[in-house]
């Protein structure tokens, strides 16, 4: 499951940065790179799924962090 955790984290970082830049500069990276085609919706969907996964797996993330210290 560690690879899935890393993938979810990367997608959440990308989504968070995109929203932050959009909020400050009114510039959307996903639209800029992919345009208004189905890929941008897929990316937004994957970021949303990653957020739900992170919420559901939060306790296991915390347990693994405590064990690894």
- Residue numbers of the domain that contains 60: 2-68
Count how many domains the chain has. 1
Cα gap 23→8, rounded to integer Å: 22
Supply the pLDDT for residue 32.
Answer: 83
Supply the pLDDT for residue 44.
Answer: 86
- State pLDDT tens for residues 27-69: 888 888 877 788 888 888 988 999 898 888 877 766 666 655 5
Residue 27: strand, helix, or coil: coil
Supply the pLDDT for residue 25.
Answer: 92
* pLDDT above 60 (res 12): yes
Cα gap 30→23, rounded to integer Å: 14
pTM of the model: 0.70
């Amino acid at each position: 499951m560690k690879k899935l955790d890393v993938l979810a984290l990367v997608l959440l970082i990308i989504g968070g940065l995109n929203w932050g830049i959009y909020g400050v500069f009114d510039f959307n990276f996903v639209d800029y790179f992919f345009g208004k085609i189905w890929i941008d919706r897929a990316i937004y969907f994957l970021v949303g799924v990653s957020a739900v996964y992170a919420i559901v797996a939060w306790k296991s993330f915390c347990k693994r962090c405590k064990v690894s210290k």
